[in-house]
Chain A
C-alpha cells in the first residue's frame, strides 16, 4: 500500500516517498542533505518574469540525481515527444502497480490554490493509481492525496517553456535496502562545502549572498528604481526563499535537520553543533524576509544598507557552519 507523506519541498519529498515505498526509509531532510542540494545562486542573466534568478538550492532534477549517485540507486527516466504516448506509458506503469514520479508545470494542476499558480515547469509529484478519468496523485507539498483529471495532467506534463518537462516520468528500478551513512554523509557534505565556499563565480554560494546585498544597496540608490522596482525585487527574493516549498528560510532549516539527524545516527557532536549554527542562519534569513517585507509595505523606511547588513549576517552565520563542517570526515 502506498503511504502519502507531506513534505516541504516537491523534489526531495517525491524522492523520499519513492525510496520509502521501495523499502529504504529515508526522510526528506536526509534526501536533501545526501544530494548535496543546498546552494545559493544569484543569476541576473536568467530572468523569471523580469526578475533575476535566485535559487537557494541546486537546479531541478539534481536532488533525485544526487541521491541516485550517492546511494547507488538504479532509476528509469523517460521523456516523450508525443503526449499521447507519454500518457499511455504512464497508464502502463500504473497498471503494473508502480508508483511513478512526474515532472509537471504548477499552473495547470487544478488542485493548486489560485494564488500559488505560476508558470513553473519543474514541479514534482507522484501518481499512485487511476480511478476512471482521474489520476490519484500524491503531491508531496499537500497535506493529503489529491485527484487530477487526465486532460489537466497531460497539459501539466507537457507544458512548454523554460525547464519544460517533456512529460518526464521516473521510478526506481533497484533500491539498496541499507546505506553506509558515515561515508555517504562525508562525501555529500564535502561536495556541498565546495558549492557554498569554493565556486569560481562571485554570484554563487556565500559570496553570492553578499553580492545580492550589494545589488540591493545599488538599487536603493537609484531614484527611478527605488520606489517601484525595488519593492517588487525584494518580494521576489522573499518568494524564492519562502513561498516555493523550501521548508522555511530557503532550505536552511531542512539542511540543519539533515545535519542533526545524521549527528544522532552517527553519534557525532560536530554535526550537532553545525546543525545548530545552520538553524541560526535560517533564523537570520527569516529576519531578512521580515524586515524587507516591512520596508516594502512602508511600515519601515527603505534602507538598502540595513538589508545588505542582514544578508551579511546570513552569510557570516553560514560561513561558521561550513568552517566547522570542513573538519567533518
Chain B
C-alpha cells in the first residue's frame, strides 16, 4: 500500500473523530506511519458485528416487554455481552443466569445477587430492575 492509497473514508467511519495509524510505502520504498480516518471495508465489518448485537438487544427488549424474559437479559445485550461472558464476569453458572432471566424469579432476586449483576454489567441496581421505554444502544444512558 502506497501513502496515497491509504483510505480516508470519513463517511460511516467507526473511529468517531479519531484517526488510526497504518503503515504505507513512501516514494523511496520506505515505510512510514500514516493516519487514516477510516476504511469503508473495515467500517462495514465493524458495523455488521454491531448490528448483530443491536438486533439481539432489540429482541431481548421485546421479549422483556412481553414478559417472556427479565430486563436483565436486555441489559446483558446492551452491555455487549453474551451468556458465556456474563457467566465468566459474574462468576455465576450459565444455568443460574438463565433461570434468573425468568421474570418471576428475577423479581424475587435478593440484594446480593442483584449487586453481583450490577457490578458485572456496570449498571445500577435500580436500572437493572426496570425496562426502558425503548431499547437503547451504545452509550445512550439509562436513567
Residues of A within 8 A of B24 (CB): 248, 253
Q: How far is the CA of A248 from the CA of B82 in the complex (A)?
A: 29
Residues of B within 8 A of A190 (CB): none
Task: Tell me what chain A mostly uses at the interface: helix, strand, loop, or mixed.
Answer: helix
Taking the closest CB of chain A, its distance from the CB of B120, in whole angstroms, is 8
Q: Is A161 touching B1 in the complex (CB atoms < 8 A)?
A: no
Q: How far is the CA of A108 from the CA of B25 in the complex (A)?
A: 35
Partner of A116, one of B15, B25, B29, B31: B15
**Residue A242, interface by CB 8 Å:** yes
**Residue B23, interface by CB 8 Å:** yes
Q: Which of A57-65, A73-81, A168-176, A231-239 contacts B (4 or more CB under 8 A)?
A: A231-239
Q: How far is the CA of A258 from the CA of B88 in the complex (A)?
A: 38
A3-18, CB under 8 A of B: which get 1 and which 0? Answer: 0001110000000000
Q: How many residues of A are in contact with the other chain, CB < 8 A?
A: 56
Residues of A within 8 A of B46 (CB): 115-116, 239, 243
Q: Is B85 touching A8 in the complex (CB atoms < 8 A)?
A: no
Q: Is A293 touching B31 in the complex (CB atoms < 8 A)?
A: no
Q: Is B30 touching A260 in the complex (CB atoms < 8 A)?
A: yes
Taking the closest CB of chain B, its distance from the CB of A248, in whole angstroms, is 4
Q: How far is the CA of A108 from the CA of B47 in the complex (A)?
A: 20
Residue ID in chain A nearest B42 by CB atoms: A242
Residue ID in chain B nearest A272 by CB atoms: B29
Taking the closest CB of chain A, its distance from the CB of B80, in whole angstroms, is 6
B40-57, CB under 8 A of A: which get 1 and which 0? Answer: 111011111110100000
Q: Which of A178-186, A193-201, A279-287, A317-325 contacts B (4 or more CB under 8 A)?
A: A279-287
Contact residues on B (Cβ < 8 Å of other chain), bracket: 35 or more
Q: How far is the CA of A243 from the CA of B80 in the complex (A)?
A: 17
Q: Is A119 touching B81 in the complex (CB atoms < 8 A)?
A: yes
Q: Is A113 touching B42 in the complex (CB atoms < 8 A)?
A: no
Which of chain A's residues 1-57 have a Cβ closer than 8 Å to chain B?
6-8, 28-29, 49-50
A-B contact pairs, 28 of them (CB 8 A): A6-B21, A6-B35, A28-B33, A108-B122, A113-B14, A113-B18, A115-B46, A116-B14, A118-B80, A119-B85, A141-B20, A143-B18, A143-B35, A160-B88, A160-B120, A232-B48, A238-B45, A242-B39, A242-B42, A243-B42, A247-B23, A247-B33, A248-B22, A253-B1, A256-B23, A289-B45, A293-B44, A297-B44
Using a CB–CB cutoff of 8 Å, the interface residues on chain B facing chain A are 1, 14-25, 29-31, 33, 35, 39-42, 44-50, 52, 79-82, 85, 88-89, 91, 120, 122, 138-139
Please list the 10 inter-chain residue pairs (A to B) with the smallest Cβ-Cβ separation, ordered nearest first. Answer: A113-B16, A257-B31, A115-B14, A238-B45, A253-B23, A248-B22, A235-B45, A235-B48, A242-B42, A114-B138
